[in-house]
C-alpha cells in the first residue's frame, strides 16, 4: 500500500473533499488559502469521491481530502 501524501496547501486547480459533519463538499482550489464550491450537500462519501475522481481525471489535477486543520491528504493523482 502506498504511503499517504499530505500537504498544507493544495495547488491552484486541485480539488478538495471536505466533510461538514453532515454532508460532503467538493471544492476547487483557486490559489493561496481560497477555494470555490463545486458541489455541496452530498450526503454519501462514495458519491463525493466518485465526483472528485471524475473531475480530477478530466482536468489533470490532484484530489485532496481535508485531514485536520490546514492539512490535506491526497486521494487522487492525475496532475500532468
Look up the pTM and report it.
Answer: 0.89
Distance between CA atoms of residues 72 and 75, nearest Å: 9
Which pLDDT score, from 0 to 100, does residue 1 have?
47
Which pLDDT score, from 0 to 100, does residue 54 have?
94
pLDDT averaged per 10 residues in sequence order, the chain, 80 residues: 79 93 93 85 92 94 91 89
Which pLDDT score, from 0 to 100, does residue 47 have?
93
Residue 1 lies in a domain: no
Residue 40 lies in a domain: yes
Residue 55 lies in a domain: yes
Cβ 29 vs Cβ 37: under 8 Å = no
Listed in sequence order, the DSSP H helices in the chain are 45-59
Overall domain count for the chain: 1
Residue 14 lies in a domain: yes
Q: Domain range for residue 23?
A: 6-77
Amino acid at each position: 500500500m502506498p504511503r499517504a501524501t499530505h500537504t498544507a496547501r493544495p495547488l491552484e486547480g486541485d480539488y478538495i473533499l471536505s466533510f461538514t459533519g453532515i454532508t460532503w463538499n467538493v471544492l476547487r482550489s483557486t490559489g493561496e488559502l481560497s477555494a470555490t464550491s463545486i458541489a455541496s450537500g452530498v450526503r454519501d462519501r462514495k458519491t463525493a469521491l466518485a465526483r472528485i475522481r471524475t473531475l480530477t481525471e478530466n482536468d489533470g489535477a490532484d484530489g485532496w481530502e481535508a485531514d485536520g486543520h490546514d492539512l490535506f491528504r491526497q486521494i487522487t493523482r492525475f496532475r500532468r
